[in-house]
Chain A
Amino acid sequence: MIYGDKKTGVLVQGATGKQGEFHINLMNAYARQIGGKGVVAGVTPGKGGKEVHGVPVYNTVKEAMRDHDIGASVIFVPAAAAADSIMEEANAGIPTIVTITEHIPVHDTMKAIAYARMEGSVVIGPNCPGLLSPGELKMGIMPSGLFSCGHVGVISRSGTLTYEVVDELTRAGIGQSTVIGIGGDPVIGQTFTDVLAQFEKDPQTKAVVLIGEVGGNLEEEGANSTNMPIVSYIAGISAPPDKRMGHAGAIVEGGEGDARSKIARLKKLGVPVASRPSEIPEMVRGLFRSC
Chain B
Amino acid sequence: MKLREYEAKKVAREYGIPVPAGFLIRSADEISEHIGALGDRFVLKAQVDVGGRGKAGGILMADPSTAVATANALFNTQIKGLPVREILVEQRLEILHEYYLSITIDRSSKQPLILFTEAGGVDIEITAKEHPDAIRTVIVNPLMRDIPPFLLRELIGKAPKEIGGIVNKLYHAFIEKDALLAEINPLVTTPQGVFAADAKIIVDDNALGRQGFTMNRDLSEREREAEKYGFSYVELDGAIGVIGNGAGLTMSTLDLIGFYGGKAANFLDVGGGAESERVMHAVRLVASVPSVKVIVVNLLGGITKCDEVAKGIIAAGISQKVIVRLAGTNEAEGRSMLFAKGYEMLDTMDLVVKKAVEVTA
Is B244 interfacial (CB-CB < 8 Å)? yes
Task: Indicate if A45 sits at the interface (CB-CB under 8 A).
Answer: no
Does more than half of chain B's interface fall in helix, strand or loop, or is it mixed?
mixed
A157 touches B143 (CB 8 A): no
Q: Does B307 contact A (CB under 8 A)?
A: no
Q: Is B155 an interface residue (CB 8 A)?
A: no
A238 touches B110 (CB 8 A): no
> Are B348 and A218 in touch, CB under 8 angstroms?
no
A141 interface residue (CB < 8 Å to B): yes
Which listed residue, A103, A104, A216, touches B107 by the CB 8 Å rule?
A216
Q: How many residues of B contact A (CB 8 A)?
A: 50
- Chain B neighbourhood of A8, CB < 8 A: none
Of A63-71, A273-281, A283-291, the stretch lying at the interface with chain B is A273-281
The answer, yes or no, to whether B29 is at the interface (CB within 8 Å) is no
Let me know if B256 and A276 touch, CB within 8 A. Answer: yes
Q: Is residue A237 contacting chain B, with contact meaning CB distance below 8 A?
A: yes
Closest-by-CB residue of B relative to A105 is B207
A114 near B258 with CB under 8 A, answer no
Asked if B229 is at the interface (CB within 8 A of a chain A CB), the reply is no
Which of A114, A142, A160, A186 has a CB less than 8 Å from the CB of B248? Answer: A160
Asked if A106 and B105 sit within 8 Å, CB to CB, the answer is: yes
One digit per residue, 1 when the CB lies within 8 angstroms of any chain B CB and 0 when it does not, for chain A 134-161 equals 0000000111000000000000111111
Residue B87 at the A interface, CB < 8 A? Answer: no
User: In this complex, what residue of A is CB-closest to B141?
Assistant: A114
Is A244's beta carbon under 8 Å from chain B? yes
- Asked if A125 is at the interface (CB within 8 A of a chain B CB), the reply is no
Q: What's the minimum C-beta distance from B309 to chain A, rounded to whole angstroms?
A: 13
Say yes or no: B247 contacts A184, CB within 8 Å: yes
How many angstroms between the C-alpha atoms of A214 and B350 in the bound complex?
21
Which residue of B105, B236, B269, B302 is within 8 Å of A110 (Cβ)? B105
Q: Complex Cα distance A218/B264, Å? A: 27
A240 in the interface, Cβ–Cβ < 8 Å?
A: yes
Instruction: Let me know if B199 is at the binding interface, CB within 8 A.
Output: no
Chain B stretch 75-134: residues in CB contact (< 8 A) with chain A: 105, 107-108, 110-112, 124-125
Instruction: Tell yes or no: B20 within 8 A of A by CB.
Output: no
Known: A105-B207, A187-B107. A246 touches B348 (CB 8 A): no
Question: Scoring B residues 123 to 167 as 1 if CB is less than 8 Å from chain A, else 0, what string do you get?
Answer: 011000000000000000111000000000000000000000000
- List 26 interface pairs A-B (beta carbons < 8 Å), by A numbering: A104-B206, A105-B206, A105-B207, A106-B105, A106-B204, A106-B207, A107-B175, A141-B302, A160-B302, A186-B105, A187-B105, A187-B107, A188-B110, A213-B248, A214-B251, A216-B108, A235-B251, A235-B255, A238-B236, A239-B267, A240-B234, A246-B232, A246-B248, A249-B107, A276-B255, A278-B349
Give B contacts to A, CB under 8 Å.
105, 107-108, 110-112, 124-125, 141-143, 175, 178, 180, 204-207, 210, 232, 234, 236, 244-252, 254-259, 264, 267, 269, 272, 300, 302-303, 327-329, 348-350
Given contacts A235-B255, A237-B258, 10 further A-B contacts (CB under 8 A): A105-B210, A106-B204, A107-B207, A160-B245, A160-B300, A164-B249, A187-B107, A188-B110, A238-B255, A245-B234
